[in-house]
């Protein structure tokens, strides 16, 4: 069943590529859309409506709406066999996939073609560590630095017989840390960045902090490591999108100040993290008209603005393609900004055509 679906999606993707040229992912843009895939959020709260449950990854790469897919989640840094464990809800689980012998790590290598197809369509695909119940913990800096080799070998440019996504080489990692200690995080990410810098392609390190600044669980790490982007979760908190008009609560300005004056990477991008439906979070969801206004005002006022993150793709698709409304707002905002800037000051952009299918 998976193989047949992959054939159909490959054909559809090729037709889509023929219909419009592919634009390479650019982290420095201000209209990027990152949407989490892997947890079937809609299905978790709507078990009786399987038609809208999460589909395999390539299903969501048929158009040019979403730019980045953080795969959620790598939930435990050290599980059976001293390797991590991953949880991909209805797509790859103990019922439809095997564990690598002697480990708790699922072999989801059937997803390699999906990941590579999305990358061929100009998308970035990363692995997200943590989540609401994640256990990403290190005893000390030495253990953490060594763990960078494990992540490099399993998911990125290294080699291993236990690669969960087979031949697919992901584009980086995301740190969605919502509990525990930050011990070793700086050493882990510093060592991982060294691997990335020696790699054959561009890799990214992102994080998904809660909106209260500084974040309690990864704030110190954000101040010490050069992240490429932060997907700030403006939901389930007093500083959520529902309080945008309350200047005492809405604090994108604090994150913009962090990006410009504190982060080791002064080109780091700050995203508005938002629920993709009213059921995707306890609070923070706003309708398409409202988020369009918020996006374009923030895009205009803050130099660090990089785009929007949505949780998650199943909710977005079930909610009348909420992701499309968000992407349209982002693009329109860029168009409005460009009209205010003389042409000679606009950065040169170009479309690229990928050789591989």
**Which residues on adjacent β-strands are paired with residue 270?**
230, 305
Q: CA 98: distance to chain centroid?
A: 26
Residue whose entry in the numeric block shows the structure tokens 């669980």: 217
Distances (CA, A) of 188 to 54, 142, 144: 31, 9, 5
Q: Tell me the two tokens of residue 228.
A: 């490429």
What are the backbone angles phi and psi of residue 99, rounded to the nearest 5°? -85, 145
CB 192 within 8 A of CB 226: no
Catalytic-residue membership of 348:
no
Question: Out of 67, 178, 215, 323, which one is annotated catalytic?
Answer: 178
Indicate the DSSP class of residue 64: S
Catalytic residues: 178
């Amino acid at each position: 069943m998976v193989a047949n679906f992959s054939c159909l999606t490959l054909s559809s993707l090729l037709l889509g590529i023929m219909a419009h040229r592919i634009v390479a992912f650019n982290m420095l843009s201000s209209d990027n859309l990152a949407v989490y895939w892997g947890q079937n959020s809609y299905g978790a709260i709507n078990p009786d409506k399987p038609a809208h449950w999460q589909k395999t990854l390539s299903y969501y790469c048929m158009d040019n709406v979403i730019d980045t897919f953080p795969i959620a989640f790598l939930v435990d840094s050290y599980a059976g066999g001293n390797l991590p464990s991953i949880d991909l809800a209805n797509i790859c689980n103990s019922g439809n996939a095997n564990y690598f012998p002697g480990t708790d790590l699922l072999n989801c290598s059937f997803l390699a073609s999906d990941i590579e197809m999305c990358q061929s369509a100009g998308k970035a695909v990363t692995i997200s560590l943590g989540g609401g119940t994640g256990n990403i913990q290190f005893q000390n800096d030495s253990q953490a630095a060594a763990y960078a080799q494990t992540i490099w070998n399993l998911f990125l440019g290294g080699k291993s017989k236990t690669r969960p996504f087979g031949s697919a080489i992901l584009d980086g990692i995301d740190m969605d840390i919502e509990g525990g200690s930050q011990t070793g995080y700086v050493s882990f990410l510093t060592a991982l960045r060294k691997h990335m810098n020696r790699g054959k392609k561009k890799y990214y390190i992102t994080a998904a902090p809660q909106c209260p600044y500084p974040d309690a669980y990864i704030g110190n790490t954000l101040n010490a490591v050069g992240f490429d982007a932060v997907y700030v979760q403006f939901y389930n908190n007093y500083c959520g999108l529902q309080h945008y008009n309350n200047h005492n609560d809405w604090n994108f300005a604090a994150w913009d100040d962090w990006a410009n004056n504190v982060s080791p990477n002064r080109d780091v991008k700050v995203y508005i993290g938002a629920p993709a439906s009213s059921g995707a979070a306890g609070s923070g969801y706003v309708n398409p008209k409202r988020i369009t206004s918020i996006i374009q005002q923030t895009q205009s006022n803050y130099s660090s603005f990089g785009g929007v993150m949505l949780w998650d793709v199943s909710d977005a698709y079930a909610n009348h393609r909420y992701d499309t409304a968000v992407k349209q707002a982002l693009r329109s905002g860029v168009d409005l900004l460009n009209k205010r800037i003389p042409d000679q000051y606009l950065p040169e952009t170009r479309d690229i055509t990928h050789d591989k299918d």
